[in-house]
Structure 1
Amino acid sequence: MTEERCAKVEQYVGEIKGGLRPTMKLTIIGMVHSKPKSFSVTLLCDPVDANKDVGLLFTVNFSEKSITRNARIAGKWGREEKTIPYFPFTAGDTFKMELLCEHQQIRVLLDGRQLCDFTHRIQPLNLVKALRISGDIKLTKVA
């Protein structure tokens, strides 16, 4: 029975009404699986067509203890950003992640502490219309 539960990968897609804009805040509250490999948070321009542009792909890799950020514009992935001050996720732990949209960047906070920034690559911002979360986490709340 346990295997089935582990195989179930959480997948959430939510619309960002009117698109992303400065001062907007997206909050993700969830719990990391007990044996996590990775999970990702993606800001999409098109929730249906995954080949469209991506405003932010935020990937957490537990084996490497890395967090990668990137964006895809006109079908091409840009330069990966990997710098983080610390690796904040622990297997089996709950977390609260906030994506604060500012004029120049998205600021990522984890449990109230600043983790990283990602400068906007997609303009205008309101082209970003959906939030997708998938991987080895259980979501409690997305707002």
Structure 2
Amino acid sequence: MTEKERCPKVEQYVGEIKGGLRPAMRLTVIGMVPSNPKSFSVTLLCDPVDANKDVGMIFTVNFSEKSITRNARIDGKWGIEEKNIPYFPFIAGDTFKMELLCEHQQIKVLLDGRQLCDFTHRIQPLNLVKALQITGDVKLTKVA
């Protein structure tokens, strides 16, 4: 994956996952939540050019609802949303380090070193997932 350093006021980032997603791979997003955020999304795309194709996982943070929704899209159809989280970790003005750890059966989402949630893989084989996209109210410091 290519690395973008110091991306002030990023509204959209798309980075290729070279060779596709695979077990033991870790994707790291370091950023800051601006003041007055509405939402942001971290998405694992199957096609970095056409975002309407299959989605391995969309992780959407909604600040007004203090919710985090996960889902996937296969053959143009969204699956069942997952919303259970033990706590809402994002605070306006704060920095965060999010890690997406790809395991054989699931993606483990860690925030500042603490496990936040898991998302069972719905796209198979995993290497069909080829890009990381970040959109919305977040200022990225580093993506690796």
TM-score w.r.t. structure 1 length? 0.94
1:103 corresponding residue in structure 2? 104
Q: Tell me the residue number matched to 1:61.
A: 62
Structure 1 residue 9, shift from structure 2 partner: 5.6
Q: What is the CA deviation profile of residues 28-54 of structure 1, one whole-angstrom value per residue up to 9, with x for unaligned ones?
A: 000001110000000000011111000
What is the letter of the counterpart of residue 67 of structure 1? I
Mapping for residues 1-143 of structure 1, pairs under 5 Å: 10-143=11-144
Structure with bigger gyration radius:
1
Secondary structure (helix, strand or coil) at the match of 1:126 reads helix
Q: Give the residue type in structure 2 aligned to 1:108.
A: V
After TM superposition, give the deviation of residue 81 of structure 1 in Å. Answer: 0.1
Question: Which blocks of at least 5 consecutive residues in structure 1 are unaligned?
Answer: 1-7
As a proportion of its length, which structure holds more helix? 1
Normalised to the residue count of structure 2, the TM-score between the two structures is 0.93
Using the aligned pairs only, state the percent identity: 89
Runs of 4+ in 1 over 2 A off after TM superposition: none
SS in structure 1 at match of 2:127: helix
How far apart in 1 are the matches of 2:10 and 2:103?
A: 31
Write the letter of the residue equivalent to 2:90. Answer: F
Cα distance in 1, alignment partners of residues 133 and 110 from structure 2: 18
Structure 2's unaligned 5+ residue stretches are 1-8
CA displacement 1:96-134 (0-9 Å, x = unmatched): 000000000000000000000000000000000000001
Instruction: Tell whether the 8 Å contact from 1:26 to 1:99 is kept in structure 2 after alignment.
Output: yes
Match of 2:6 in 1: none
